[in-house]
Chain A
Amino acid sequence: MSVKPQVHVNEDYEKLYGFHMPESSVFKAEPGLDEQKVKQISGMKSEPAWMLEQRLRGFQHFNRKPMPVWADTELLNSIKFDNIYYYLKSTEKKGETWDDVPPDIKETFDRLGIPEAERKFLAGVSAQYESETVYHSMHEDLAKQGVIFLDMDTALKEQPEIVKRYFGTIIPSGDNKFAALNTAVWSGGSFIYVPKGVKVEMPLQAYFRINAKNMGQFERTLIIADEGAQVTYIEGCTAPVYSSDSLHSAVVELIAMPHARIRYVTIQNWSKNVYNLVTKRAVAYEDATVEWLDGNLGSKLTMKYPGVYLMGRGARGEVLSVAFAGDGQHQDAGAKMIHAAPDTSSVITSKSISKGTGRTTYRGLVKVYEGAENSKSTVRCDALMLNEESRSDTYPTMEIDEKRVQIGHEATVSKIGDEQIFYAMSRGLSEAEAMMMIVNGFIEPFVKELPLEYSVELNRLVQLEMEGAVG
């Protein structure tokens, strides 16, 4: 009787994002990792000695540190480090216009809609393909205001002092096994410096694309917003669908000087053969604000806990995250808020959806040091499960060493409501439409914070993930 509405059944990850181009390389290191390869990467990039030392320190930490014994140890221990290609350079050139980019690579980014987005609403774009940045541009007026937006390798050459001063200061080389690995073999990523008082109105965006099989991508990002400066940075990522696994292990460090504001938005949409093991951390000084908006839709296993160290009076930190785990996926995500100064405040909002055999985990830490009086923290975790077999766990940790604080924690776990579905269906929505609408409503607090173009994109991605949710 009624026409069953379409839930975009003809579009799927494979077609939209999971395609791949023939592999091209001007240099590809052998798979596996040893000290020689770390030196080789540094040598190819003609890096200063201090960076090679950092890399080697990172490599030692990586070797010494055991695999985490928490989170999804089964998946973690199935990573075959010896099969991974740690460095692959696809082209010698880095384009400043898309015409300078090799055709296959340009076509990839065209299909992902990056040049189009750039024309419409971005102040600057960086596109990374395998290990290296292949395209980079920024509006001229930002350059005139002294804004620096470079890929990390170029920044190391052109801005050596500032990179040396801050690199690895927020996330040291031995922070954890995967941050150590990144320190050893990092390549690409973004460097941003926004001078005092400059407010970058339009977002800067980086897009990370893995194309080759068994690839490891290890970008390194450092963003510094000087006093009173403001910037929004958006990153997106996708990869082809392969039967063998790839590894993405980034390190992102943010520094918000007094009164500055950094908003860091991630739409993670890796294919389901990518391990996404990322370390992200910020420091916020007096009256500064750092917001992490973190959307995790793709990957096989994600482990990511963006943190804010609230170091100055009145600093604010926020993590607003959405995780979607479909069949075979595990999103182990959360947040860390460290209150180390008085009058600091933090808000953590975690929304997770698990479908089929998907698993979501919220893992979070709120730490308030003694003396950080009048600090406030609110943690809210909502988990929505779409099927009987899906799973969700919450591990909130609170370490409060100061008495004069306000701490709130609320967690809900619900199965998608039969009553909600019946209500919507009684009004004429099909079961699939009803589920889609309920899920979209569930993540609305996240979506409404995104720039419009991304909220449309995110809703579409969730729609793709929801395919087949109704039996």
Chain B
Amino acid sequence: MTKQSLSTPLLVVENLHVSVEGKEILKGLTLTVNAGEVQAIMGPNGSGKSTLSFCLMGHPKYQITNGTILYKGRDIHELAPNERAAAGMFLAFQYPTAIPGVTIVNFLRAALRGVRSSDVPVKEFRQLVKTQLKALGIPDAFMNRYVNDGFSGGEKKRLEILQMAVLAPSLAVLDETDSGLDIDALKTVAAGINSQRSPERGILLITHYQRLLDYVKPDVVHVMVDGQVVRSGGPELAHTLEAKGYEGFRIPAGGFSVRSARR
């Protein structure tokens, strides 16, 4: 562990086994995220990274067959996605979904109302949005577009960051937020993520490539292969991966303990 927190960790994932339509994808994943930390999970395609992010947010398709997820010390197994959002969890999607006909401003207002479990005065909402739009360099007119409808890859990712900024979660899981971005868009998005770093917030970056980590410095890097975390380390681990690829992290035929890999 790089940082020690006296309080309860934000997120403790313990020996998590998850199946999708009967097929086991996560096979005993263990992970702890503390407030104030940025942790990165890197792994090849098909290692179960997106399954982890969907599962954390409570997607009904993902069945937990074993293990636990404790968020702020509480087992969230029974919580619906919106209840997790209200508890302070957020997922930035790899492929954000379009909702034609629904403006961003209406969507975000409903989201904020849901997260806060109470109505947000129009004036306060406008002010909040305006501040975040400015910080992210997004024009005001963006708010009147339909959610992700006809958006470029960069626009979609920026909208995810905008929502994160407005909803101000305690734990943000960013699933391949860097994918499909050109270098300028990547820098903008990275700046958005950095602006959201705070001592109260934990950020879990899920990524295939190391390049996002050039702009958002993680405290911890995990390597995920075949549904397990097989190695954890500091930022230098990302560079090793970049140089050598994931080959060296394949699980040996006999398998090995996840814990031994982490400790």
Contact = CB atoms under 8 A, between A and B. Distances in A.
A201 B57 CA distance: 51
Nearest to B53: A426
Contacts of A146: none
B87 to A, nearest CB: 6
Interface in B49-94: 57-61, 79-87, 90-91, 93
Interface residues of B, number: 38
Given A2-B86, A420-B97, A426 B91 contact: yes
A14 to B, nearest CB: 28
B135 interface: no
From B60, B87, B111, residue with most partner A Cβ within 10 Å: B111
B101 A441 contact: yes
B107 A424 contact: yes
10 contacts: A2-B86, A420-B98, A423-B96, A425-B58, A427-B114, A428-B82, A428-B167, A430-B80, A441-B101, A444-B101
Nearest to B74: A1
Contacts of B61: 418
B114 A443 contact: no
B146 interface: yes
A200 interface: no
A-B pairs with lowest CB-CB distance, top 4: A428-B114, A441-B101, A444-B101, A441-B102
A445 interface: yes
A422 interface: yes
B5 interface: no
A426 B114 contact: no
A175 interface: no
From A417, A425, A434, residue with most partner B Cβ within 10 Å: A425
A166 interface: no
A1 B107 contact: no
A410 interface: no
Nearest to A1: B83
Interface string A139-167: 00000000000000000000000000000
Chain A interface: which size bin? 20 to 34
B101 A442 contact: yes
B99 A428 contact: no
Contact of B112 (A428, A433, A442, A443): A428
B113 interface: yes
A5 interface: yes
Contacts of B101: 440-445
A441 B80 contact: no
Nearest to A441: B101
Main secondary structure of the interface of A (DSSP, over half): helix
Contacts of A438: 99, 102
A456 B210 CA distance: 49
Interface string A348-373: 00000000000000000000000000
B115 interface: yes
Given A437-B110, A441-B146, A444-B102, A422 B59 contact: yes
Given A2-B114, A417-B97, A424-B107, A430 B102 contact: no
Contacts of A2: 82-83, 86, 114, 117
A437 B97 contact: no
From B59, B82, B102, B112, residue with most partner A Cβ within 10 Å: B82
A437 B107 CA distance: 8
B163 interface: yes
A9 interface: no
A149 to B, nearest CB: 34
B100 interface: yes
Nearest to B81: A425
Contacts of B99: 420, 423-424, 437-438, 441
Given A427-B107, A444-B101, A444-B102, A422 B96 contact: no
Contacts of B112: 428
Contacts of A431: 80, 82
Contact of B110 (A419, A429, A444): A429
Contacts of A44: none
Interface in B162-177: 163, 167
A452 interface: no
Given A437-B107, A441-B100, A441-B146, 6 more contacts: A2-B86, A428-B111, A428-B113, A428-B114, A428-B115, A441-B102
Interface in A158-211: none
From B61, B81, B146, B147, residue with most partner A Cβ within 10 Å: B81
A417 B90 CA distance: 20
Contacts of B87: 1
A69 interface: no
Contacts of A444: 100-102, 146
A433 B85 contact: no
A26 interface: no
A442 B82 contact: no
Contacts of A445: 101
Contact of B114 (A419, A429, A441): A429
From B100, B110, B118, residue with most partner A Cβ within 10 Å: B110
A422 B81 contact: yes
A49 interface: no
B97 A442 contact: no
A421 B44 CA distance: 28
A443 B102 CA distance: 10
Nearest to B119: A5
A409 B208 CA distance: 41
A424 B115 CA distance: 12
Nearest to A438: B99
B167 A427 contact: yes
A443 B83 CA distance: 28
Contacts of B110: 428-429, 433, 437
A419 B97 contact: yes
Contact of B79 (A1, A3, A437): A1
